[in-house]
Structure 1
């Protein structure tokens, strides 16, 4: 999806992609997968295609200003950042390096989807897999809401970025930003953000 046709466009794409995300500065815009293309218009004018993580994302303006600043510092007199909404951004666009950095930063990265197309919105269980409660003689505790058949599959569980346990629970569907949920690990008891799948 990311395109560059000339050597200069490829360099400008690399520079635009190197800008840190304003909400998650541990990631670059390239690693987040939001910078789609650059197009040169003459020797010193460039247009950058930027796809927000969701329509109305408040970070788009900061991203655009940072891209403009970086490209002007590298000789571009005129920089235009154009919002591109189609194809829509998806968490599948986050690079493997971006997922690794999220995990190291203490944020559970979005799970990798195997099917293409829209992500269904499910109001499933708050626990990612059944767990035992020592106060109830180690017997399994039922999820607090009906689960989809795969919701408790350990391979599909939201894993704790601190200890790797799949035994986590949802505390809030929204965290510090709309794209993250707040969860807690039931093994190490640490709270953590989960970058939700879109």
Structure 2
């Protein structure tokens, strides 16, 4: 809750239109993840819904995982971007169920990760790994599938550190969650 909301919660309330919601999606497409600044919150799939409630834009956000240190920064960035775009007192709801999954990352987001040097999640969050099957993690530099995991954790907890055996370059792999 922000200062003044209890006193003036209807400040700027107005009927919303489909154009407003489309504009909000466009605005959110420019809000970048602070840890991977080439993918937007829309590309990551953490914005789960936008609608108009009680005269204000209502945004549903599912964090990548409940302990993600960037969650509050992302939420503030979302609110700031929407307010800067003219949405008065947008309402943000953090929803933890269903839990976020890397399956929600868009195709554009996956390509942006690759171009940035981070291998996007391979496959999906199926139970293949529980059965001993390994995903092919391709090097984002040269495209080789001849890679090896150096560490279960990379630059952040949601990434693992890999190295390409062919080009010898290390890289982060965005783990399937």
2:46 corresponds in structure 1 to 34
1:179 is aligned, of 158, 162, 171, to 158
Paired with 1:7 and 1:76, the residues of 2 have a C-alpha distance of 12
1:56 corresponds in structure 2 to 67
Closer, same or farther in 2 for the Cα pair 1:17/1:86, shift >3 Å? farther
Structure 1 spans left out of the alignment, 5+ residues: 123-146
**Contact 1:17–1:35 (CA<8 Å) still a contact in 2?**
no
Local SS of the residue matching 2:60:
strand
2:12 corresponds in structure 1 to none
Matched residue pairs, number?
161
2:172 corresponds in structure 1 to 193
Paired with 1:54 and 1:41, the residues of 2 have a C-alpha distance of 26
Structure 2 spans left out of the alignment, 5+ residues: 1-16
Per-residue deviation, residues 23-54 of structure 1 (Å, max 9, x unmatched): 100101111111011222344x2221001111
1:111 corresponds in structure 2 to 122
**Contact 1:16–1:70 (CA<8 Å) still a contact in 2?**
yes
2:84 is aligned, of 67, 73, 77, to 73
Paired with 1:42 and 1:10, the residues of 2 have a C-alpha distance of 18
1:19 aligns with 2:31: yes
> TM-score with structure 1 length normalisation?
0.75
2:10 corresponds in structure 1 to none
Per-residue deviation, residues 95-143 of structure 1 (Å, max 9, x unmatched): 111111111111110012284xxx5765xxxxxxxxxxxxxxxxxxxxx
Paired with 1:181 and 1:13, the residues of 2 have a C-alpha distance of 31
Q: Which structure has the larger Rg?
A: 1
Closer, same or farther in 2 for the Cα pair 1:109/1:40, shift >3 Å? same
Paired with 2:49 and 2:124, the residues of 1 have a C-alpha distance of 24
Paired with 2:114 and 2:59, the residues of 1 have a C-alpha distance of 29
Give every structure 1 segment of 4 or more consecutive aligned residues whose post-TM-superposition deviation is greater than 6 Å: none
> TM-score with structure 2 length normalisation?
0.83
**Contact 2:102–2:125 (CA<8 Å) still a contact in 1?**
no
1:162 corresponds in structure 2 to 141
Paired with 1:177 and 1:159, the residues of 2 have a C-alpha distance of 19
